[in-house]
Amino acid sequence: MVRVEPLAQLRAVVAANPPDPALAGYLEKVRTRAYAITDREVQALKDAGVPEDTIFEQTVAAAISEGLRRLDAAGRVIV
C-alpha cells in the first residue's frame, strides 16, 4: 500500500478543484476573511444557479489553498 502524505493529499484536493472564475469575489473573501461570509452571500450564489456541491468544493479548496500558502510562507521564514 502506498502511503500518501497528508500535505500531498491536500495539495491534490486543491489541484483537482481549480478556482471557478465566476466565484472569484466569493473565493477571495474565503481566503482573506472567511469569518465574514454570511448565509445571505451563499444563498445569492445558489440563487444565481451555482450548485451547493460546487460552492462547498470551491470553499474547501480555497481554504486549503490559503492554508497551504501560509504554511509554505512560514516554512520559508523558519528555514
The answer for residues whose C-beta is within 8 angstroms of residue 57's C-beta and 6 or more apart is: 17
Condensed to tens digits (0 to 9), the pLDDT of residues 61-76 reads: 999 999 999 999 999 9
Give which of 8, 13, 24, 20 is closest to 65, Cα–Cα. 13
The pLDDT score that the predictor gives to residue 1 is: 64
Residue 39: per-residue pLDDT: 97
- Residue-wise pLDDT for 12-53, tens only, equals 989 998 999 999 999 999 999 999 999 999 999 999 999 999
Cβ atoms of 51 and 20 closer than 8 Å: no
| Residue 41 C-beta-side C-alpha neighbours within 13 Å | 15
How much is the pTM?
0.85
Query: What is the grid cell recorded at 2?
Result: 502506498
**What is the predicted pLDDT for the residue at 19?**
93
| Residue for grid cell 445558489 | 46
